[in-house]
Chains A and B, each alone.
Chain A
Amino acid sequence: MKLSKLLFVAGILGLLTLPTLGADPIKIGALFDYTGPVAELGPKFEAGLRLALEEVNYTVAGRKIELTIYDSATSVSVALDMFKKLVDSDGVKIVIGPLMGDAHLAIAPYASEKKILTTTLLNSMRSVATRPGTTYLLYPTTCEAQTYWFGQYCYNVLGHRTMVTIGANYAGKIAYANGAAQGFIAAGGTVVGQLWPPVGCQDYSPYISGLASTVADVILYALEGPGPCSRFIYQAREAGVTKPLVTITMDGDYTPEALAELGDLGLGIIGESAYTWQLDNPENKAFVAAIKAKYGRVPCSAEQNTYALAKVILAGLEKTGGNVEFDDLWEAVLSSKLNTPAGSVSWTSEGVAITPAYVCQAELVNGVYQLSAPLYTEPKLIDPTLPSSQKK
């Protein structure tokens, strides 16, 4: 029994690792969350990636592309395990994902060791890019740079003078919240308080009880995904908090589904976004039409980010003639400049993307709750603390 089981396992292994016949395909791996707290985003990330690859018929520089996707289960352990599997067993040289910022801190050493070009899906901490031997593409930028300018915007354009921040208590959201706070202070504002509820917090009311009587003009929240953000908005409004709310990564948290659930509660909240489906550029028009045709919904940043990242990587592969060796590909990608649905993208020498950013809000049009066209556009986000920015 035991032997036959082992033989069976060995047989399956043999089949799975059988080398594919014919010309060597280019192998691209991806890690998305299909289970766990942000399981809703996995299929969206996959949709964007597949769309980009379908557009080139899974072929680049005359070679077929072979895509392998695994579930990272919203777990750092699983993400690390599956990353190793992609690299060691599937022979992948390029990995897109996973989503969790802290998973990248665990993966980065291994990615450097094996020289694997790896991308984030939605920002990550600056330290991932600045560690020696980095092989990471940070997209759309670092957490800190993503929100710094928005803090300034809150002071200069929205006219707020005092702010209180509430951010989920882990590195990624702390970086977002602090980035915005520093921008707000730099513009002349005062941050009167910072609250850090734990990840997975089901009831924000104890924190909200402090916000109800806050002297701050504005409350900035940075919580760990669409669910927690919506929960916070509901609980705050329910408790009678009427102060204006602003947020970051609005495009990621205000998915069409989350907006529909929030209804009127989502209206009036202004947020920083790396993308909105209403951007007026030819790439985006085609992209939105393709997603609508295929899935019957408008895209959010999840679809856009993997789509744009795939475009960047495809452009790099085209340039290297299909060569996937890290040094060549890295060079080709970093020197690329592309127009994506979210706007232009180029790269710093650390592999941090330089992209535009937008300010959006939720709106109700013909009975549908949706993300608005940009109220404001910040043409180029560059993290000012990166070594490459300091040299200039």
Chain B
Amino acid sequence: MTSAGTTGSHKAPWIWRALPLVLAAAVLVAMPGLLPTFMQRMMSKFLIFAIFSISYNVVAGYTGLISLGQAAYFGVGGYAAAVLMVRYGIDSLWVTALAGVTLGTIAAAAVGPIVLRVSGMYFLILTFAIGRLGYSLTWNLPFFNVPEGIQGIAGLPRPNPGIPGFQWTELSFYFFVLLVFALAMFLQYRLSRSPFGHSLQGIREGEMRMEALGYNVWLHKYLAFVIGGAFAALAGVLYVFMNRFIEPADLDIMRSFYPMAMVIIGGTATLWGPVVGAAAIVFVEYFSSILVPQRWPLILGSLFILAIMFARKGLAVYASDFWSKAGAKLWKR
């Protein structure tokens, strides 16, 4: 599934190589129907965070811009949709989603020129600073706090898709998220295989070389940053649709940290890394907080450290290597 597979001379037939994809798709489509409703919501959460992780994968994975503030655009997207609902009474799924993604993208486009004046460590802390500013803004301005007395926007309606007689269930919402997720995966695939995507990876590997080759490095980075912002905003909108609540913490460092952890644990700059990482973290956090409510941070923290020390390439990469090797062995005879 990923480019990291080392297959050797014996290549398994395409059907073997396509099997994981088919199985994953089958599981994502067929399994949730068998799950209790709350687990259907957890599946939606997992896919939403997978989309959020794609955002980080584009910015940090492919382009090498280590951002500690990806949640800012997640939050702008989410708040935009939420504000439209509670302040302006617009509950149309299409209008709120479009507005959320557009505003999130605009926010990234506006912040880009500020943070891209620097690189490396400075980029890291500057992106953090922007997220922190958003956090304190949404905390303090009454416009962003509904009902009065809460920091955040609560009691949001379900988005209205404009289909007469349609009623959301956890399952139908899941399939909606799955559809958006599939689209996001397709876009990530196209992006990573496009000449533009290749240039981004070139910049990650050697900025000077690309500059010397005549590439407009700044513009490439800027576009990657804006595209990342759009993916994050999309995830933020879906998150608000699911949770029907958003709060200032959704723009802050803790929230930014999730896609970062997911991408690294899943596999940086790989197509499936964000997905595998999102699954790992969403479900480990969920089960550990239920099984050991007082000690779950120990489990999550250890997961991060173990993943870094012993599975640095990312779970998706190991899985795909394993699959290719098994295939190569099977077809050796």
Contact = CB atoms under 8 A, between A and B. Distances in A.
Instruction: Please tell me whether chains A and B touch each other in their complex, using a CB distance cut-off of 8 A.
Output: yes
Contacts of B23: 2-3
Interface string A74-108: 01110011001100110000000000011001101
Contacts of A75: 249
Contacts of B294: 34-35, 42-43, 71
A34 B298 CA distance: 13
B70 to A, nearest CB: 17
A388 interface: no
Interface string B28-44: 00010011111101000
A218 to B, nearest CB: 27
A12 interface: yes
A42 B244 CA distance: 26
Contact of B155 (A12, A35, A73, A106): A106
B12 interface: no
B318 interface: yes
B150 A105 contact: yes
Contacts of A172: 149
Interface string B62-104: 0000000000000000000000000000000000000000000
A5 B154 contact: no
Contact of B151 (A70, A76, A84, A88): A76
B148 A171 contact: yes
Chain B residues touching A, majority SS: helix
A84 B242 CA distance: 12
Chain A residues touching B, majority SS: helix
A92 B222 CA distance: 49
A349 to B, nearest CB: 22
B154 A9 contact: no
Given A13-B39, A106-B150, A106-B154, A2 B245 contact: no
Given A2-B276, A3-B24, A106-B154, A80 B245 contact: yes
A133 to B, nearest CB: 12
B323 interface: yes
B281 interface: no
A11 to B, nearest CB: 12
A84 B23 CA distance: 30
B283 interface: yes
B161 interface: no
Contact of B243 (A10, A43, A77, A109): A77
Contacts of A88: 36-38, 41, 170
Contacts of A204: none
B149 A71 contact: no
A209 interface: no
Interface string A11-26: 0110001000000000
Interface residues of A, number: 40
A109 B20 CA distance: 42
A84 B31 contact: no
A105 B154 contact: yes
B147 A127 contact: yes
A9 B283 contact: yes
B149 A89 contact: no
B318 A13 contact: no
A70 B250 contact: no
B319 interface: yes
A139 B38 CA distance: 29
Given A80-B243, A106-B152, A89 B293 contact: no
Nearest to A113: B155
Contacts of A6: 27, 31, 279
Contacts of A80: 154, 243, 245
B289 interface: yes
Interface in B280-307: 283, 287, 289-290, 293-294, 296-297
Nearest to A174: B149
A69 interface: yes
B224 interface: no
A89 B286 CA distance: 13
Given A77-B247, A88-B37, 5 more contacts: A2-B276, A13-B35, A42-B294, A71-B294, A127-B149
20 contacts: A2-B24, A2-B319, A3-B27, A6-B27, A9-B283, A10-B34, A12-B287, A13-B39, A35-B296, A76-B150, A76-B245, A77-B243, A77-B247, A85-B290, A88-B41, A88-B170, A102-B151, A105-B149, A171-B149, A171-B150
Interface of A: 1-3, 5-6, 9-10, 12-13, 17, 34-35, 42-43, 69-71, 73, 75-77, 80-81, 84-85, 88-89, 101-102, 105-106, 108-110, 125, 127, 170-172, 175
